Chains A and B, each alone.
Chain A
């Protein structure tokens, strides 16, 4: 049986019984799962619209992550470990698209004299940011998945990520417990830097896109240097 990017090989039939194992068709199970998902959606919708919205958004993200094998962990790990930057470049494209769209939305509120949404995600920059990000980077590579990746892989059937999630929760609680100390020690005078505040709306967006473009070129050259052909 041939499917898309997967080609049948004549060698396969001479291999062990593995190749001749009868494959189940899981589509019927998928349909049952779909009905359960829809049922949960209806129940949530009856409780509160917001819950249904978040459920749908989560489903969209989960479906997309699994279908494209998208992995933020790989985007940071592969340039070093396997010299591949295809996911890195895809992540940069996502940064570029969302930068433009988010800026447009924020500007729209600003220009109408309304409070800019999402500013809670412009957070203080301090030593805690550096240490925390580094810890996260180490952890995601060792655990075989970042935050979104862990959830995605649980859906794919990996027991390892169930363990990872449990300890992620424990670590989060621990971090929340210590947060007060980190705040008192490092964050009281830590600056929040919203690029448009310093460079203007256009300047802020341009700076973001410039950084993305430079990183893209570096990623492209890095992979080219280390392989025969480039896959886009």
Chain B
């Protein structure tokens, strides 16, 4: 059963959101989705970019002024 896990990275300094995302994704299984909460402008660019390069399905949604949710579906 594919699960959804939320990772709160609000208020974190560069590059913490990306490092935490990498570690969290390692713990998930293929088919699971990681939802990363971001409010850092660098992270809303480098987290999706990294995840796509690793071959995962990525969607980024702006949920508030300066706040984004990045949905990463683990593909491998």
Tell me the A residues contacting B by CB distance below 8 Å: 3, 5-9, 11-12, 15, 18-19, 21, 23-24, 26, 66, 69, 71, 73-74, 77-78, 81-82, 84, 86, 144-145, 156-158, 160, 223, 227-231
Near A by CB (< 8 A), chain B positions 5-48 give: 13-15, 18-19, 22, 33, 35, 37, 41-42, 45-46
A74 proximity list for chain B (CB < 8 A): 14-15, 42, 46
How many contacting A-B pairs (Cβ < 8 A)? 88
Distance in angstroms between the alpha carbons of A54 and B19 in the assembled complex: 37
Tell me the B residues contacting A by CB distance below 8 Å: 4, 13-15, 18-19, 22, 33, 35, 37, 41-42, 45-46, 49-50, 52-55, 59-69, 71
The 8 closest A-B CB pairs, nearest first, are: A144-B13, A227-B53, A228-B55, A69-B45, A144-B14, A9-B59, A69-B42, A6-B60
B15's partner among A26, A77, A230 (CB-CB below 8 A) is A77
A sample of 26 inter-chain contacts (CB < 8 A) reads A6-B62, A7-B59, A7-B61, A11-B33, A12-B69, A18-B37, A18-B67, A18-B69, A23-B65, A24-B65, A66-B41, A69-B41, A69-B42, A71-B14, A71-B42, A74-B14, A77-B15, A78-B15, A78-B46, A82-B15, A82-B46, A82-B50, A86-B49, A223-B53, A228-B54, A228-B55
